[in-house]
Amino acid sequence: MTAEKPGFEAAALMALEEHYPDCVCAIAAGSVLRGEATEKSDIDMVVLYGDDFTDIHRFSAVVAGWPFEFFVHNAQAQDYFMDRDRQRGMCVMMDMIANGRILPENAPLALAQRAKAEKLIAAGPDPLTETEIEDRRYFITDTLDDLDTCKAALDMYGTLANLYNQLGDFYLRAQGKWSGHGKALGRILRREDAALAAEFEQAFTAAYGRDYAPVMALGEKILAPYGGRCFAGLKRAASGDWRSFGKETG
């Protein structure tokens, strides 16, 4: 008979004792805490050490039947990863720190990191520049055109996967909102605009059945407030790095 898995918090404490018994504190996060877990869900565990700790790493393990993803940091490293996510317009690490379960409760270091994460989340991502908006319109236009001429099924699958992330990310970032990737993008869309998220689901479901009209209309709708499709006349200067390619240095 298979033993019943312990609750996530008990499992988290067991995992810390087994793998990081000398850590200062930790923050457990993920779909389990949001009440959205499936039988395959893991527990994200942000593990914090003092400033002299330098073995910054990511590690996967199974403890008491629970899969764990450990993100092992000191405060400086964690600040770095939060800033890297901020630059991408995605609050992955920030969300874990701001909304996870602190272990032990009220640990000062975790609370200090949470305050930083909450401040970054509230400030929002950097707004897209006019050039970034134009570039994204261009790439979405190109993907819509690719889809319109897709014949092979594999080409269609790849194009739709690319378009889903392009449209969802552009819709959110152009409004100054945090974005996501893959399934996290869908979760954010549902939270920010449930009606549009439903439109995404209907349009992409139809598209995978070779009915592209709804997803084309969705693309036009998302692009329209920013000037619509973009192609003719777009020019971008290449990096000057080519000038040093192939030349001897020293």
pLDDT of residue 7: 86
Residues ≥6 apart with Cβ < 8 Å to 156: 147, 150, 207, 208, 210
Q: What are phi and psi of 68, to 5 degrees?
A: -125, 140
pTM confidence score:
0.88
For residue 89, give the nearest of 210, 173, 209, 202 by alpha carbon.
Answer: 173
> For 147-157, what is each residue's pLDDT tens digit?
999 989 999 99
> For 75-123, what is each residue's pLDDT tens digit?
999 999 999 999 999 999 999 999 999 999 999 999 999 999 999 999 9
> For 148-205, what is each residue's pLDDT tens digit?
999 899 999 999 999 999 999 999 999 999 999 988 999 999 999 999 999 999 999 9
> For 15-56, what is each residue's pLDDT tens digit?
999 999 999 999 999 888 777 767 777 899 999 999 999 999
Sign of CA dihedral 127, 130, 132, 137: positive
The per-type count for the chain, helices as H runs and strands as E runs, is 10, 5
Q: Within 13 Å, how many C-alpha atoms sit on residue 243's CB side?
A: 4
